[in-house]
Each structure stands twice: as structure tokens, then as C-alpha cells.
Amino acid sequence: MSSPSRTFAPAPTHLPGLDHVLSGGLPAGRTTLVCGGPGCGKTVLAMEFVARGALHGEPGVFVSFEQTAQELEADFGSLELDLAALSQEGTFRLHHVGLGEPDIPATGRYTLDGLLVQLDQVIDSIGATRMALDTLETLFARLGNSAELRSEMRRLFRWLQERGVTTVVTGEAGVDTLTRSGLEEYVSDCVIRLDHRVTAEVSTRRARVLKYRGAPHSTNEHPFLIGHRGITLIPIDARPLDHPAPVGRISTGIDGLDRMFGGEGYFRGASVLVSGEAGTGKSSIGAAYVNATCQRGERALYVAFEESQAQIVRNMRSVGLHLEPWLDQGLLRIQARRPSQLGLEEHLREMEDALDEFQPTAVVVDPVTNLINVGTPATTLAMLTRLVDSLKSREVTGLYTSLDPGSEGATAQRVGVSSVMDTWIEVLNLHRGPEESRGIYIIKSRGMGHAHRMHRLELSDAGVRVGKGLQGGPP
């Protein structure tokens, strides 16, 4: 089925996730309203649209009715945007309009005449094709009644359209309306609502496209971050289901477990889940895989949510795994964080940054179920699905451990993460005979033959060992 035709050509925001949600960008030559409460990122989005456009050869002007040029340059320096340098290149301008001062001369009834003269001049000065106005409430505060407000607002939007400038205007959220005046959303061609809410003491920013005349777009809410690189939005449907499917195999790091997979181990680029109760050896299986990766001269990233780097290194010595040499050689990176230290989106962004910078071929996340305390099962699954997609698209093999409180696979199934895994390994504490022992079996492994019988799992200072199959299979 062919996609609907677009009335307006898109003007890319050059923010990949947002452009995906917008099916290419904002409506070129038209006006987009970005609205929301304080601290939700309205000014940041407007600035990024103009500044990143300038970096891609589209001159732009940012008009502020509140902050001075010097204040904006200082604020956005922390987001790796050198606004002063862009201004010197002649593709970008910061223009402050002090409405409390005689910047806009007026006699009699307040109008936008003086402002339009200024905008006309600043657009012509650099041949701007993009503009941002931040914020409309400040601009229209002098208007006494709704009829004047509506008239002048329509006049401004029509003037911008006639100039052919792609414009982002910001507006503050109203009580029962999108904006305080409740008018901008009706005269804008595109409306994006930003939200900053706190759930269970964890804050998350979200964006939703409420309106886009003449173009298909996503209407879902999408979480996003504001970090040192600016706005990052990673929608769950941003990557199509076209992951590569490598046929090469890599060792699990445990000879007996390799034999359970036909003697060859995991598929490269696969997603592997290791679930079980506390003390069953999940982290040891992850560390054995990391150790085998580094032995091949490849890089591995270990993301830990329970233990510090020093604890992991010490504890793995007890099962014959010595990780210090790989850390010293730069083949292994251990990234330890408390789950509550960041929100789900921040955890995802931090892992994406490590993937870009460190370029590992193997990633262990231990345990993914600790992230439930940061969000709900649904939001945790959405975040993990995007992480799995990211690793698959890079052909990075990911191993995820899942702590189950009692029954087999309970937490993994509750989060739903097992459905997006290619391979699922279960480890258990067995109560057979006078001494407790451990068992391991493969629940599923897509695309390959594997053992169906439970095997004994042994952890000792001699290493992690998988023994022969046990009679009776899984209990």
C-alpha cells in the first residue's frame, strides 16, 4: 500500500529520532508550535532546529523575547552547540527583543509593526530559511483582549508563511488548553507537545506530535533526553525489522555449554537471555562469555546494575575468571550504575554512547530485571527492545541476565523480555541428594539445534563447567 502524499516538503530537524516520528521533518515554509510546561525542553528543541539547520547549510535566526544572546550562548555551550562560532560564520543569528524596553516603538494600540520590521531585517541579513520565536506569551502579553490577540497572531503567522521561512514558535502550557491563550494550536500547521513528568520519583520527558497538516506522522508519545549532545529521541519503531542474520558462531566461553549448542556456541549478533534465581550462576555465565570475547582479541562491554567493577573482578576470580588483564589492555569496559541513578532513557542513551565510542562486539547487561524498579514492565520492555534492536543492527552479540524471584522465568515473562530474545537459557538450583547443585538447560534457541536435556552446572575455582545431561530433563 502506498503511503499518503505529503502536502508540505519536510525541513529536517537533524535530530534522527524526531525526524523519524515526523516522517522527515517539520513542514517547510510553515509554522510549528512547540508547547509544554517549564523544563520540558521547548527552547532546546527550537534552538536545535535552527542551529543544526545552520550546521547543514540552512541559515537561521533565533529570536528570544526573554534571554539575551550572551545568556543563550552560555546555556547552549553545555550542549556542544557553539552559537558564537555559528554567528561568526554568518549562517546563524541570535536576536534578542527586549519587550520591556523601547525596542519596538509603538504609539496608540499595540501592534506587531515594529517587530515585523526587525524580523524582516534580520532574515535578510543572512538569507535565513529557518526561524524560532521564543516565547509567544511574552510577545503578546500587552494585548488586552482575545480578539486583538487572535488578529495579531494570525497576522504574524501569515507574514512568516509569506516570507517562506520555516518557523518554530514556543508556547507555555495552559490549564485546560495546550497554550495559555489557546489559539496558537489552531493557526499552526504542526503542533508538538512536550511533557516532563515524574512517576515513582523518576522523571521522564516525552514528546507527542498532536497535529501535522497534510502529512503522515506518529501520534504516540515518545520519551526523549536532553544531554550533552542535545535532544535524543529513540522511538521504538525507529529501526525497521531488517536486522542482519549472521550465520557465524562464537563461543559461550564454557566448553560444555558450547556442546549444548552443537559445539559452536551462540550466533554472532544474537540476543541471549540467561534467567534464574539468585545464586544460580547467571553473572558467571555472562563473565565467561566476556572473557572468551576478550581472548579472541575483541572488545566487550559489561553493564552492571548490582556490583561495582572491583566487586565483579574480585568475585569472578573465585570461578577461575581473571578479568583484570582485559581491563588493563582496554579490551573490556565495565560500566557500573545503580538502576535508580538514571531514568530508563538515560540508561539507554549511556549504553548507546558506549557502543558508539567503545565499539564492542559483545555486551552483557546484568541484570536487566533491576530496571523494573526504574519504570514499569511496559516501559522497561520498550527500552530493552530498543537496546536489542540497536545491538542487532550493529551485529553485536548481547547477553542479558534476568533475576527470577522463585518460579521459572517469572520475572523474564513478566517483563516480556523473553519474547525478543533469540536464545533463552535457564539456570536453577537443584535439590537432588544431600548437597544442593545447579542445573542449566536451553528453553529456546532460534535457528539452531540444541540440547533439550538439563545439564549439571558447576562453579568452582577451576572455572565454570557444564557437565553431562541429567536424567529426567527440566523439573
Residues 6+ apart with CB under 8 A from 44: 79, 226, 230, 231
* Upper half-sphere CA count for residue 154 (Cβ side, 13 Å): 7
Q: Do domains 10-233 and 249-469 have the same CATH topology?
A: yes
- Choose the CATH number for 249-469 among 2.60.120.200, 3.40.50.300, 3.40.50.1970, 3.40.50.720: 3.40.50.300
- Per residue of the chain (475 residues), what is the pLDDT tens digit? 334 455 568 999 998 789 988 989 999 999 999 999 888 999 999 999 999 999 999 999 999 988 899 999 998 988 878 899 999 999 999 999 876 554 444 444 556 788 899 999 999 999 999 999 998 877 776 665 667 777 788 888 889 889 999 999 998 887 666 776 666 677 788 999 998 877 666 677 889 999 998 787 777 888 888 877 788 887 765 555 666 788 899 999 999 999 999 988 999 999 999 999 888 999 999 999 999 999 999 999 999 998 999 999 999 999 999 999 999 999 999 999 888 778 888 888 889 889 999 999 999 999 888 887 777 777 788 888 888 988 998 999 999 999 886 544 454 444 567 788 999 999 998 875 556 689 999 999 999 999 999 999 999 988 899 988 886 554 4
pTM of the model: 0.72
- For residue 68, whether the previous peptide bond is cis, meaning omega lies within 30 degrees of 0, is no
Domain ranges of the chain: 10-233, 249-469
Question: What Å distances lie between residue 226 and 43, 206, 218, 303, 349, CA to CA?
Answer: 11, 11, 21, 22, 10
* pLDDT score recorded for residue 145: 62
| Superfamily designation of domain 10-233 | P-loop containing nucleotide triphosphate hydrolases (3.40.50.300)
CA 240, CA 219: separation in Å to the nearest integer? 18
Per-residue burial over 90-110, b if 16 or more Cβ lie within 10 Å, else e, is: ebbbbbbbeeeeeebeeeeeb
